[in-house]
């Protein structure tokens, strides 16, 4: 049998790889401050709620159908069903489903790449369920996955290089899944390499006109991370020097030397507390536009509107307020990343919900007519507020009518700002709104009691049966 030698293991390891392996192996639940463990539970609740919210969408159904061909009673659960499949396939389905409805958390820190650190959560859970770890071990894995994702986001600038933030999901998932599955330091080192080298996802998954793969990319990345852990557990050796090698991640993806010198613990705050909980079902950079439009919505007579001006921070205009497809969305995926669309639908309906992107809305002639009257402009003052701490997501919506009426709504910097922490009551309310219609109020109460007391569970495998839909 061709077993990796100690010499081969040493050759496989470079700076970042060693740093991640050492950090993961050393992280313990007992070292986590109470507020950090609580932040992990909040994000478990928030992400599983988002998963149920997206369960019936077409790409999620397709993913389940594929997983159904790969049954594995000793694997992990496709949440919402009784189906068990290989752990990496469960990671794929659950990661895709949790991402679909655009209600999972985001990360914005001045200078950071950003993204959705919660993309790691359900893939890590697949590994945790498969390994039958305790609630405390799973909480530790969630904190670890977030930490890896967000620390990479802080140093990976990716300026005009075309790589997607889901690459960070793959890395964060691999490190945490490896810990959940009890990999040795040498195995974890190989796991990290097998996540970094073969799995570089291009930004094209969310460029131009979006397809359903926008959400699926998160599941793909999570699956790759869990699969790397499974390979390492089986004894597979990863590529040598994955980050620092002559054809490695730093030279060809980051295109600059990177280091992860700062990681949470020993007095340094953990990054998980800086992820932002969403309170509207849309892309994070559209939410301030929705909140501003809500201040003047719903309009009494849409036909009287002559012009709608939306003043936003520069990054919002760049990402979701420019390009002809923002004014002509042909899918849910494009619409929830369009400032003109979400402002128009808010002005008509009063707010944005997951139903705001169904076909009845998407092809509503009145809505599409209003979209064409929306202008998006960058406001320098708002742009400055977006790149300093504390971050403010500021937007102003001005509606001019044929009768000369001028309606103005502003958002940002107040208690409803996306960057403001959400209370446990707000998180529960959001979870209930996404789950009670399909699971029932009694079942949801039981789930919430279990998840708020996650640290008391001896085995997290008891969680998925509670989410089975009748």
* pLDDT tens sequence across 98-123: 999 999 999 999 999 999 999 999 99
Question: Within a 10 A sphere around the Cβ of 25, how many other Cβ atoms?
Answer: 15
At CA 337, angle to CA 222 and CA 217, rounded to 5? 15
Task: List beta partners, residue 344.
Answer: none
Q: Does position 1 have pLDDT exceeding 50, yes or no? A: no
pTM summary value:
0.95
| CA-based nearest residue to 88, from 187, 233, 207, 212 | 233
Q: In which band, very low, low, confident or very high, does the pLDDT at 5 lie, cut at 50, 70 and 90?
A: very low
At 376, is the secondary structure helix, strand, or coil?
Answer: strand
* Secondary structure (DSSP) of 165-217: THHHHHHHHHHHHHHHTT--HHHHHHHHHHHHTT---BGGGGSSS--THHHHH
The reported pLDDT for the residue numbered 348 is 98
| Joined tokens for residue 82 | 């009784």
Q: In which band, very low, low, confident or very high, does the pLDDT at 470 lie, cut at 50, 70 and 90?
A: low
Q: Are strands 305-312 and 71-77 parallel, antiparallel or unpaired?
A: unpaired
Q: Does position 267 have pLDDT exceeding 50, yes or no? A: yes
Give the tens place of pLDDT for each residue, 190-217: 999 999 999 999 999 988 888 999 999 9
Residue 25 · residue 179 · CB < 8 Å: yes
| Joined tokens for residue 412 | 């940002």
Residue 302 · residue 348 · CB < 8 Å: yes
The reported pLDDT for the residue numbered 304 is 96
Give the tens place of pLDDT for each residue, 233-246: 999 999 999 999 99
Residues 343 and 340: their CA atoms lie apart, in Å, by: 5
| CA-based nearest residue to 43, from 424, 429, 456, 407 | 424
The reported pLDDT for the residue numbered 208 is 80
Those residues with Cβ within 8 angstroms of residue 210's Cβ, 6 or more apart along the chain or in another chain: 331, 333, 334, 337
Average pLDDT over residues 166-188: 98
* 127 CB-contact burial (10 Å; exposed 0-12 / middle 13-18 / buried 19+): buried
Q: In which band, very low, low, confident or very high, does the pLDDT at 157 lie, cut at 50, 70 and 90?
A: confident
The reported pLDDT for the residue numbered 143 is 99
- Tokens 């996306």: give the residue: 418
- Tokens 């189906």: give the residue: 83
The reported pLDDT for the residue numbered 161 is 81
Q: In which band, very low, low, confident or very high, does the pLDDT at 2 lie, cut at 50, 70 and 90?
A: low
Give the tens place of pLDDT for each residue, 372-400: 999 999 999 999 999 999 999 999 999 99
| Joined tokens for residue 139 | 């909480």
| CA-based nearest residue to 93, from 104, 82, 105, 77 | 77
Give the tens place of pLDDT for each residue, 72-102: 999 999 999 999 999 999 999 999 999 999 9
Q: Which domains does the chain have, with CATH numbers?
A: 6-274 (1.10.4100.10), 284-411 (3.30.1330.120)
Q: Does position 7 have pLDDT exceeding 90, yes or no? A: no
At CA 422, angle to CA 419 and CA 424, rounded to 5? 165
Give the tens place of pLDDT for each residue, 425-436: 999 999 999 999
Average pLDDT over residues 344-365: 97
Greater pLDDT, 11 or 420: 420
Q: In which band, very low, low, confident or very high, does the pLDDT at 336 lie, cut at 50, 70 and 90?
A: very high
Task: List beta partners, residue 209.
Answer: none
Residues 31 and 54: their CA atoms lie apart, in Å, by: 34
The reported pLDDT for the residue numbered 6 is 47
- Tokens 């914005």: give the residue: 108
């Amino acid at each position: 049998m061709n077993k990796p030698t100690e010499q081969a293991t040493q050759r496989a390891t470079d700076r970042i790889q060693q740093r991640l392996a050492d950090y993961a192996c050393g992280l313990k639940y007992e070292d986590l401050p109470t507020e950090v463990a609580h932040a992990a539970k909040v994000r478990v609740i928030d992400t599983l709620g988002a998963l149920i919210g997206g369960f019936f969408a077409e790409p999620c159904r397709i993913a389940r159908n594929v997983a159904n061909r790969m049954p594995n009673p000793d694997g992990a659960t496709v949440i919402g069903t009784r189906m068990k499949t290989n752990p990496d396939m469960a990671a794929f389905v659950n990661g895709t489903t949790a991402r679909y409805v655009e209600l999972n958390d985001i990360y914005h820190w001045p200078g950071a790449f950003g993204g959705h650190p919660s993309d790691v959560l359900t893939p890590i859970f697949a590994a945790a369920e498969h390994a039958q770890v305790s609630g405390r071990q799973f909480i530790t894995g969630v904190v670890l996955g977030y930490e890896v994702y967000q620390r990479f986001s802080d140093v990976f600038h990716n300026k005009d290089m075309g790589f997607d933030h889901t690459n960070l999901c793959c890395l964060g998932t691999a490190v945490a899944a490896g810990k959940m599955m009890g990999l040795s330091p040498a195995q974890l080192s190989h796991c990290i390499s097998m996540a970094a080298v073969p799995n570089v996802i291009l930004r094209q998954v969310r460029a131009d006109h979006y397809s359903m793969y926008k959400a699926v990319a998160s599941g793909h990345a999570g699956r790759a991370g869990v699969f790397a852990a499974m390979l390492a557990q089986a004894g597979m050796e990863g590529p040598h020097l994955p980050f620092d090698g002559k054809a490695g991640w730093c030279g060809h993806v980051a295109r600059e030397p990177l280091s992860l010198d700062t990681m949470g613990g020993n007095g340094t705050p953990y990054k998980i507390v800086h992820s932002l909980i969403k309170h509207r079902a849309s892309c994070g950079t559209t939410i301030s536009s929705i909140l501003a439009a809500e201040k003047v919505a719903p309009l009494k007579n849409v036909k009287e509107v002559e012009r709608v001006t939306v003043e936003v921070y520069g990054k919002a205009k760049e990402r979701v307020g420019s390009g002809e497809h923002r004014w002509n969305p042909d899918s849910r995926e494009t619409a929830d990343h369009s400032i003109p669309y979400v402002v128009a639908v808010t002005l008509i309906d009063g707010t944005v919900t997951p139903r705001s992107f169904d076909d009845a809305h998407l092809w509503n002639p009145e809505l599409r007519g209003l979209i064409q009257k929306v202008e998006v402009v960058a406001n320098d003052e708002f742009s400055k507020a977006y790149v300093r701490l504390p971050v403010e997501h500021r937007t102003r919506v001005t509606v001019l009518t044929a009768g000369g009426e001028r309606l103005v709504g502003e958002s940002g910097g107040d208690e409803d700002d996306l960057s403001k922490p959400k209370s446990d009551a707000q998180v529960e309310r959001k979870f209930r709104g996404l789950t009670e219609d399909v699971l029932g109020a009694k079942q949801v109460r039981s789930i919430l009691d279990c998840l708020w007391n996650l640290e008391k569970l001896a085995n997290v495998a008891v969680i998925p049966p509670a989410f089975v839909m009748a």
